[in-house]
Structure 1
Amino acid sequence: MSEKKLVYKNRRVGILVITTMAASFSSSLNNIACGLDLRMVAPDQTIEEAKNGIQNHAKGLLQVKDLIELKAWREAQKELRKSSSLLKQDIYTIIQAKPGNERQNLRKLYFNLFNSVSKLDYAARDEDESKVLQCYDKIVLALNEILSEL
């Protein structure tokens, strides 16, 4: 009889421990979710800030060419990711401020530009110089086109 009571008591303790752990895990997940950076969804940036930063970030993106010529692939990738993410936020902010009838063409240009950036990143990872240069040329064309539209 005492063995049954012991088993029953151990089950209650086990359930209590599991419940406590689940509650603690749930609360820590909530804290993590509250710490996410959602600036691409709701930018903290004003249109004026985006317009002021777009030229500098575009120049930063184009300066990746120097690293490509040196075949410094990892550094080129790092600089590409840094400058393109800032430029992406600037362009996104400006597109969102435009009237609805202008957005479709700008979104297409935006997609083309950053699709080329991703392809360049992959080509640099693979150290494929001809593909990197081809992607870089597409970035220059797409960047000039989108900047002329903005």
Structure 2
Amino acid sequence: MSEKKLVYKNRRVGILVITTMAASFSSSINNIACGLDLRMVAPDQTIEEAKNGIQNHAKGLLQVKDLIELKAWREAQKELRKSSSLLKQDIYTIIQAKPGNERQNLRKLYFNLFNSVSKLDYAARDEDESKVLQCYDKIVLALNEILSEL
């Protein structure tokens, strides 16, 4: 009789442990999923916020030049990533608000700008000063072009 109670008690403990582990596992999965930034799919910023922020974020992107001249490659990469991600969100929001016939050209300019940003990031990682300066010049041209279209 005591063996039956022991088996029953072990099963309850086992079920409790499994339930706790499952709850913990689903909680960690949920935290990982919530950590994803899905704002590029469904922006949560208004067009007015994007238009107000675009100039400051563009200036932030262009200020990377100072870090490049100092050859502070890691800091340049950090600032580039920060300012370009904010600028990317602003431009994306504005493009989505435009009529369909205007979007194609803006998307092309958007692609060119952020493709140059990625290339500059890789060049800074490799500490290739000539390529960094070349990419920076392309960013300036692409940024001026897309801002004039917006």
State the TM-score, normalized to the length of structure 2. Answer: 0.84
> How many Å apart are 1:3 and its aligned residue?
12
Give the % identical residues.
Answer: 99
Shifted more, 34-43 versus 123-132: the winner is 34-43
Aligned residue in 2 for 1:122: 122
> How many Å apart are 1:11 and its aligned residue?
9.0
**What are the within-5 Å matches in structure 2 for residues 99-138 of structure 1?**
99-138=99-138
> How many Å apart are 1:8 and its aligned residue?
11
Question: Taking structure 1 as reference, are residues 44 and 65 closer, same or farther at Cα in structure 2, changes over 3 Å only?
Answer: same
List runs of 5+ in structure 2 lacking aligned partners. Answer: none
For 1:1-54, what per-residue CA distance to the aligned partner results, in whole angstroms no more than 9, with x for missing partners? 999999999899767744642343123312442354322222221111111111
List runs of 5+ in structure 1 lacking aligned partners. Answer: none
Shifted more, 54-63 versus 110-119: the winner is 54-63
For 1:89-137, what per-residue CA distance to the aligned partner results, in whole angstroms no more than 9, with x for missing partners? 1100000101111111111110110010010011011100000011001
Alpha-carbon distance in structure 1 between the residues aligned to 2:136 and 2:60 = 13
Shifted more, 89-98 versus 6-15: the winner is 6-15
Question: Taking structure 1 as reference, are residues 130 and 38 closer, same or farther at Cα in structure 2, changes over 3 Å only?
Answer: same
Figure out how many residues of one structure are paired with residues of the other and give that number. 150
Shifted more, 107-116 versus 39-48: the winner is 39-48
Aligned residue in 2 for 1:38: 38
Alpha-carbon distance in structure 1 between the residues aligned to 2:35 and 2:125 = 30
Alpha-carbon distance in structure 2 between the residues aligned to 1:118 and 1:72 = 17
Alpha-carbon distance in structure 1 between the residues aligned to 2:18 and 2:114 = 46
Alpha-carbon distance in structure 1 between the residues aligned to 2:32 and 2:109 = 34
Question: Taking structure 1 as reference, are residues 128 and 97 closer, same or farther at Cα in structure 2, changes over 3 Å only?
Answer: same
State the TM-score, normalized to the length of structure 1. Answer: 0.84
Residue 70 in 1 paired to residue 62 in 2? no
CA-based RMSD of the aligned residues comes to 2.5
